[in-house]
């Protein structure tokens, strides 16, 4: 029986073609940049992490809205009615404190985040993982802006 002769396949190289174009149109730098951005968006965070982050941010914004809606005469539960000198504590918040949890952080964002994490972990009896999750959620949102 005669042996089959295998034909050699032509080797494809990444050398530019005769006309100076790339033999692989998908290797266009603009196409690769768009592919990289889409891949990061799809794979950077899992769907469950994204959902949890959204929940943390939504709850934080609701808490901040409630905190900022308290009038200066109302004190949250647990606050003493006066300080050592007998004066009522100043409960006025700066007007832009309410926007501390916007996608672009402002000067009040670190303080508001610290207050929210403290509220959740102390008053809400939550643990370290909740604090880390809240911090990561807001950090992710602010880095994306």
Place of tokens 């042996």: 3
Flag whether pLDDT at 142 surpasses 90.
yes
- The residue ranges of every structural domain in the chain are 48-73+93-145
Share of the chain above pLDDT 70, in %: 66
Confidence tier at 89 by pLDDT (50, 70, 90): low
Helix, strand and coil in the chain, % to nearest 5? 55, 0, 45
Q: Kindly report which listed range (65-69, 110-114, 128-132) carries the lowest average pLDDT score.
A: 65-69
Q: pTM of the prediction?
A: 0.61
């Amino acid at each position: 029986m005669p042996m089959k002769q295998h034909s050699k396949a032509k080797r494809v190289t990444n050398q530019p073609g005769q006309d100076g174009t790339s033999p692989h149109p998908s290797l266009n730098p603009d196409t690769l940049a768009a592919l990289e951005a889409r891949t990061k968006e799809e794979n950077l965070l899992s769907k469950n992490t994204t959902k949890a982050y959204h929940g943390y941010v939504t709850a934080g914004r609701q808490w901040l809205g409630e905190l900022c809606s308290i009038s200066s005469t109302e004190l949250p539960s647990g606050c003493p009615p006066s300080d050592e000198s007998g004066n009522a504590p100043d409960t006025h918040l700066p007007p832009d404190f309410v926007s501390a949890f916007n996608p672009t952080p402002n000067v009040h964002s670190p303080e508001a985040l610290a207050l929210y994490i403290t509220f959740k972990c102390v008053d809400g009896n939550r643990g370290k993982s909740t604090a880390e999750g809240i911090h990561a959620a807001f950090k992710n949102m602010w880095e994306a802006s």
